[in-house]
Structure 1
Amino acid sequence: MAENVVVIGAGAYGAAVAASLARRGARVVIVEAGAPAGGTSGATFAWINASSKQSHPYHAFGVAAMDAHRRLAAETPAGDWYHESGNLQWETADDEHEVLRRKVATVVAYGYEVRWLSRAEALKLEPDVDPAALPADEIAYFPREGWVEPARLVGHLLSRAVSRGAELVTDDPVVSLRIAAGLVRAVGLASGRSISAGAVVNCAGPRAGAIAGLAGLDLPMRNTHGVLVHTSPVTVSVSRVIHAPDVHLRPDGGGRLLLHTQAIDGAVRISGNGEMSADGSAVETILEASRVLYPGIRAATVEKVRIGERPIPGDGLPVLGRAAELPNFHFAVSHSGVTLSVHAGDLVAAEVTGEDRGDELAAFRFERFHPAGAR
């Protein structure tokens, strides 16, 4: 492939697409508006799973994505960014418990590995949890799920790409696309640089809709904010992803914990100059919920609060692969991007280089938003 493939974005998707393209012999230029993994990929809970994906095509895609993470980590001597430690989830309210039961029943029917644990069984896995915080039974355990350290994953993938000749451009946003004869011909940057393009892959995360707009394509997005709370180092054993009713948490390296809830996502405040912050009382609430769950972390404090913008296409499903009306313009955009990135990035890269991945990407095409005859 003589011409550049320009990958817009150096988060999890951009890094995965670029690494796969470079492995296939493409000449790659990765363009990032800020720093690699400095946007959504650096502010994500990074829970690797398929249990949250309930439709069968999406669930199956998630299972394949989990397998791709395992393979990548297994083939990499320093691939210890991947932690397949399992996920525990339980609910105490009757309506939420019924939702969890339905979720478990659905993925069991798909052949996904999950089992119900008693309180005593769960405490063998997480002995520092307060027993009073656990129900007597019906604690869902997903043993093949886990989490990754996203910045290290992105760094590894970008290193792979660069070692095979890819160019990484940072702190230089894309501001224009030049289109001629039904194809993207060049990518214009804020610095004034113009990069000739044989193909473009839109991995711009929250800006994916805006980048599509530069190509004359309407990609509906319903982005949301996500708030993550990083604790100081704690003297308790937390080995797994934990989804408790009042707090979600996982290890975060160096003895720290990463905390999240959907409620805190709604506590983002945006100032008049556009700066984002999380309401202090909401941060304290989530920290207190973690202390109730793990009494040994009473002395924990908040070291950092990170706010990211989650890229969510209009119907919640990924948007992957080429655009039919602009066939050298490709998408790699979704929520759950860290889970899907390695697998989806490889499929998109394969299509960019001429392989037929129609069956695997059929459910996630851009054209579903604009069916023929509906315009």
Structure 2
Amino acid sequence: MVTHVVVIGAGVYGAAVAAGLTRRGARVTVVDAGAPAGGTSGATFSWTNSCGKQPRAYHELSVAGMAAHRRLAAEATQDGWYHESGNLEWADGDVAGARLRAKVAGVLDYGYEARWLDRAEVLRLEPGMAQAELPPDGVAYFPREGWIDLPRLVGYLLATAVSGGAEVVRDDAVTGLETTAAEVRAVRLASGRRLPVAAVVNCAGPQAARVAELAGLVLPMRNTRGVLVQTSPAPVAVSRVVHAPRVHLRPDGDGRLLLHSPEIDGAARVADDGGFQVAPSAVERVVEAAVALYPGVRAASVRDVRVGERPIPDDGLPVLGRAAALANFHFAVSHSGATLCVHAGDLVAAEVLGEDRSEELAPFRFDRFNRYGGAGTGHNS
């Protein structure tokens, strides 16, 4: 059996993989350049769904991910991260409306739960909405979708791993991977620490390509930025994820709301200190759209503006499981990590320890990029 596994990244994937490994008896070290959940996992809309995902294998993986969240929340000794409250979506204009109708038809064909609501039905679910902002009908409702409090989930999964003997190393970036004979032998950290390994799992999110490069692998990524606005507690009842034409929003615990719009993502700029800054006017537009939809939001203030980097492999699909060129180097990297992490992370953990997960992981292996010239290999000695 594999004796020591280093998991690179302490976000949702790293935490889920570590929990799956320790549950199976492995010795695990989780390493992160920052704090657990301090990257994308702490700055994401974290909508759980399989709404229009293609191809079919990706849809099925996402549905299995949603089911894994339900099971974990039911079995856990403590929870509070999982909110299967449903998702409402509608569109403006003929083109956007046609896209939404096609999406609903597609998921219904897959057996996914969805139905159409009229204005009165929506207001019974969300009485705090302004009636004038809603169309008379044509609102899509996906009742099994919801959202995840990812920092809380990461904390639970890492605590589970630590109780199984895992070590969590924070604020210590991976600076090198020692490879010989087509295997990774050790992980080197910025602190000077050297960790001999039997296997490595790359859960580094937006930094996954850099980590892969240390192993001589080229992982093509097209990461994007996402901007989220968190409000102070607001005297308004928002119970569900809402995708309206001008604003996306959801509850964020303790009366707070999380707001997003694709428009605001482009407003993030790199500041002089290397962090991100967002133009106040862009934030104001998103808040105004939220107030128009839920007038009670007017009493809230902006508590935080978060900028996260979404890790998106070049073809948009997850990268999961072992790499053929380095048999003990594994990936758990994707967009939609909130939906996939518990299920996909456990599949990867199982494969690391020798269980056959070929059927589930075959569509998502790193080696698919070689087929269109998107990756190459080489080794560091």
What secondary structure is seen at the aligned counterpart in 2 of 1:230?
A: strand
- Alpha-carbon distance, 1:273 to partner: 4.1
Structure 1 residues 97-116: Cα deviation after superposition (integer angstroms, max 9, x where no partner) = 11111110110000000000
- Alpha-carbon distance, 1:274 to partner: 2.3
Q: How many residues align?
A: 375
Name 2:254's counterpart in structure 1: 254
Give the aligned residue type for 1:21.
L
1:275 and 1:46 map into 2 onto residues whose CA distance is 22
Name 1:365's counterpart in structure 2: 365
What secondary structure is seen at the aligned counterpart in 2 of 1:320?
A: strand
Structure 1 residues 329-373: Cα deviation after superposition (integer angstroms, max 9, x where no partner) = 000000011110000000000000001111100110101100399
CA RMSD of aligned residues (A): 1.2
Preserved CA contact (<8 Å) 1:54 1:106: no
Name 1:77's counterpart in structure 2: 77
2:277 is aligned with 1:277: yes
Preserved CA contact (<8 Å) 2:11 2:39: yes
Preserved CA contact (<8 Å) 1:113 1:143: yes
Structure 1 residues 22-47: Cα deviation after superposition (integer angstroms, max 9, x where no partner) = 00000100001100000000001010
Structure 1 residues 59-95: Cα deviation after superposition (integer angstroms, max 9, x where no partner) = 1110000000000000013222101000000012221
2:240 and 2:257 map into 1 onto residues whose CA distance is 11
Name 1:229's counterpart in structure 2: 229
- Alpha-carbon distance, 1:271 to partner: 2.7
Task: Using structure 2 for the length normalisation, give the TM-score.
Answer: 0.97
Give the aligned residue type for 1:345.
G
What secondary structure is seen at the aligned counterpart in 1 of 2:371?
A: coil
Name 2:337's counterpart in structure 1: 337
Name 2:138's counterpart in structure 1: 138
1:52 and 1:149 map into 2 onto residues whose CA distance is 23
Name 1:119's counterpart in structure 2: 119
2:39 is aligned with 1:36: no
Give the aligned residue type for 1:268.
A
1:83 and 1:2 map into 2 onto residues whose CA distance is 35
- Alpha-carbon distance, 1:272 to partner: 4.0
1:70 and 1:2 map into 2 onto residues whose CA distance is 30
Matches within 5 A, 1:1-375: 1=1, 3-371=3-371
Aligned-pair identity (%): 65
What secondary structure is seen at the aligned counterpart in 2 of 1:298?
A: helix
The answer for unaligned runs of 5 or more in structure 2 is: 377-381
Task: Using structure 1 for the length normalisation, give the TM-score.
Answer: 0.98
Preserved CA contact (<8 Å) 2:238 2:251: yes
1:307 and 1:371 map into 2 onto residues whose CA distance is 34
1:156 and 1:241 map into 2 onto residues whose CA distance is 23
2:356 and 2:65 map into 1 onto residues whose CA distance is 19
Runs of 4+ more than 4 Å apart: 372-375
Give the aligned residue type for 1:246.
R
2:159 and 2:143 map into 1 onto residues whose CA distance is 30
